[in-house]
Amino acid sequence: MAATSEAVRQVLCTAGPSISHTGLCSNKSNFLALSKYGLSYRTENVSWCTKIKSSRHQNSRRIFAFHFVDGVHSLHCGSNLSDRFRSLNCKCRQTDSVTDVVNEDLNRRINGVENASVLENEKREVLLNGDLATNGHGVFSSTLPMAGISSAEEEAWDLLRASMVNYCGNPVGTIAANDPSDSNILNYDQVFIRDFIPSGIAFLLKGEYDIVRNFILHTLQLQSWEKTMDCHSPGQGLMPASFKVRTVPLDGDDSATEDILDPDFGEAAIGRVAPVDSGLWWIILLRAYGKSTGDLSVQERIDVQTGIKMILKLCLADGFDMFPTLLVTDGSCMIDRRMGIHGHPLEIQALFYSALLSAREMLTREDASADLITALNNRLVALSFHVREYYWIDMRKLNEIYRYKTEEYSYDAVNKFNIYPDQIPPWLVEWMPNKGGYMIGNLQPAHMDFRFFSLGNLWSIVSSLATADQSHAILDLYEAKWADLVGDMPLKICYPALEGEEWRIITGSDPKNTPWSYHNGGSWPTLLWQLTVASIKMNRPEIAENAVKVAERRIARDKWPEYYDTKRGRFIGKQARLFQTWSIAGYVVAKQLLANPEAAKILVNVEDMELVNAFSCMLSTNPKKKRSRKGLKQSFII
């Protein structure tokens, strides 16, 4: 029993850097408690926490406590338990086995910690003793020389560090915005998963790994947490949109406080939007961490493997869909308000593809996940085929759509989604350059959203969801439409803006998303880093260099706004936060990568030749065969 208790203590303690926690874990009066604020790990006078439930339970009394005293654990259970905790509670009654105390998932996480900690120590030694570039993990030196760093970059680093959020004394993320002039902070004082990605990459490229490791492990703990929205629980595996570290008085002890992690899965977010992108970004960052540090022990931990699988299961679950693209509600990604992107928005598909490829690289091949790997491979092939074929437009394709026949009933219909040519918007007829093309924003039955969305297109390049030709064509479009997409401040989130009646109907008359503002055609400096990765991948870094120069003219002087308004991005956004962390981090990452383009490898997914083969098989099969499951399975053996 002592060993299992020790294992539980390990899982609680290894979420943060091990040095501080080791000391704490040997303290006999440490205990794990579920209080009115959630689950936390405490000591006398100092407190260390592991996990917290969401704030809607703040009115409930402490309901569960789990003490570690000399390896003996005891429980105090009370009222107000959710179903999940009821089962935890029931399992907790017998005290002779740790499996009665924690659920199966937690147990797997514990084992993972035990096994991984040995490996991790070994690898940490390699990292400490050896040059990163030659440590045998295929890692290149990624630390930038400080010489030559511009003053804007120096300022950005100072601001980025100032935005760091600590939990139990260790950095776990960066606050969304640090605007001292803004009294209406809403949830900008939280750590957003998607906003942290450029911060995390900046720290990785600088060789400061702890904050990223802590972020990965703490958000992982939030993943399996109970979450409900008006009595409905979203699927297991969902990652929060954001979390906040709260320091609260310790119950019954005025002299002490405790830190708690308070996640928001969208239950408190404006519009109650589900953050579909969070888990996908988490996987992408996890891979980047492994590639950057050479420390694979984090991704190999059983709790981390479980976390990856939970995200995949949620994404790969069967539904009513006919398409391989992920079906989501409006506002489920960076654009987290109503903007007419419900359905199959490109951004989610590109992140999904990237996360699938990244997960495939990281998943350990034990038997249990064979089905998952098969499902994952099947989805990758179908997804790349679908997006490359049906989302792509250029002059040739546009002309084809212009001449589409409609109402085709058959397996070999050319116009599969019954797109009426009249849908081609007049602006596009003028706007589409002869050289260049892009992936449309969304595809649904009888509906193509022809708007250009930057993040989806750029991440299609980074993830190789777009072919090499398509990737170059997207960059050609940026060059051809520089004034529209870069203008006075990179980068347009989408082009063009919804105006007039369209704005009224599609945004629901959203005063924040007025034409050429915010999500509706606003310009977002954070997108610089994705442009940089994409242009480096295609060996055209000058595109990003030029965009960075445009940003440098005013971004620091303007105090790092969240977004800019107007057609050319000339004004600081109407309601834009200043000192927005991902604007700062996006700029920093762009500079770091341009100084060391090799480092972009930690984010890029290279074209998978097996997928390419499967893709060409699909193209050459006859349409009716494409419907047959048998036909599909035969075409990709991976």
List the one residue out of 316, 313, 607, 623 whose CA is nearest residue 632. Answer: 623
Task: Please say whether the beta carbons of 558 and 572 come within 8 A.
Answer: yes
Task: Name the minimum Å distance from CB 448 to ligand GLC.
Answer: 24
Per the CB < 8 A criterion, the answer to whether 471 and 551 are in contact is no
In whole angstroms, how close is the CB of 477 to ligand GLC at the nearest point? 23
Nearer to ligand GLC, 51 or 194 (CB): 194
Residue number, 153 or 195, with CB nearest to ligand GLC: 195
CB of 469 to ligand GLC, least distance (A): 30
How many residues of this chain interact with ligand GLC, rule: CB under 6 A?
6
Alpha-carbon distance values, 545 to 99, 532, 615 (Å): 55, 8, 34
**Minimum Å distance from CB 587 to ligand GLC?**
15
C-alpha span between 125 and 260 (Å, rounded) = 32
- Closest CB to ligand GLC among residues 48, 503: 503
> Which phi-psi region, left, alpha or beta, contains residue 161 (left: φ > 0; alpha: ψ -120 to 50)?
alpha
How many whole angstroms separate alpha carbon 386 and alpha carbon 303?
A: 33
Minimum CB separation from ligand GLC for residue 570, in Å?
A: 21
The interface mask with ligand GLC, positions 284-323, x = CB under 6 A, is: ----------------------------------------
198/290 with CB nearer ligand GLC? 198
Nearest to 485, CA basis, from 541, 443, 436, 447: 436
Residue 67 structure tokens: 């003490």
**Minimal distance in Å, beta carbon 286 to ligand GLC?**
19
Query: Which 434-473 positions form the footprint of ligand GLC (CB under 6 A)?
Result: none
Restricting to residues 316-335, name those near ligand GLC by CB under 6 A: 334
Choose between 275 and 324: whose C-beta lies nearer to ligand GLC.
Answer: 275
User: With contact defined as beta carbons under 8 Å apart, do 176 and 579 qualify?
Assistant: no
Rank residues 240 and 496 by Cβ distance to ligand GLC and give the closer one: 240
Task: Judge whether 475 and 394 are in contact, CB under 8 Å.
Answer: no
Instruction: Closer to ligand GLC by CB, 195 or 295: give it.
Output: 195
Helix/strand/coil percentages in the chain, nearest 5 = 45, 15, 40
Q: Restricting to residues 114-133, which ones interact with ligand GLC according to CB under 6 A?
A: none
347 binds ligand GLC (CB under 6 A): no
Angle at 592 (CA atoms; ends 586, 595), nearest 5 degrees: 140
Phi, psi angle pair for 31, to nearest 5°: -155, 155
| Nearest residue to 394 via CA among 423, 446, 435 | 435
Beta strands in 341-381 (DSSP E): none
CB nearer ligand GLC, residue 65 or residue 165: 165
> Between residues 266 and 324, which has the closer beta carbon with respect to ligand GLC?
266
Contact in structure between 524 and 512 (CB atoms under 8 Å): no
Tell the smallest beta-carbon distance from residue 219 to ligand GLC (Å): 14
User: SS3 for 356?
Assistant: helix
Residues of span 173-232 touching ligand GLC by CB under 6 A? 176, 192, 194-195
Residue 529 touches ligand GLC, criterion: CB under 6 A: no
Closer to ligand GLC by CB, 306 or 513: give it.
Answer: 513
Q: Which residues have C-beta within 8 Å of that of residue 184, sequence separation ≥ 6?
A: none
Cβ at position 176, least distance to ligand GLC in Å = 4
Residue 336, interface with ligand GLC (CB under 6 A)?
yes
Site track 242-271 with ligand GLC (rule: CB under 6 A), x = hit: ------------------------------
- By the criterion CB under 6 A, which residues form the site for ligand GLC? 176, 192, 194-195, 334, 336
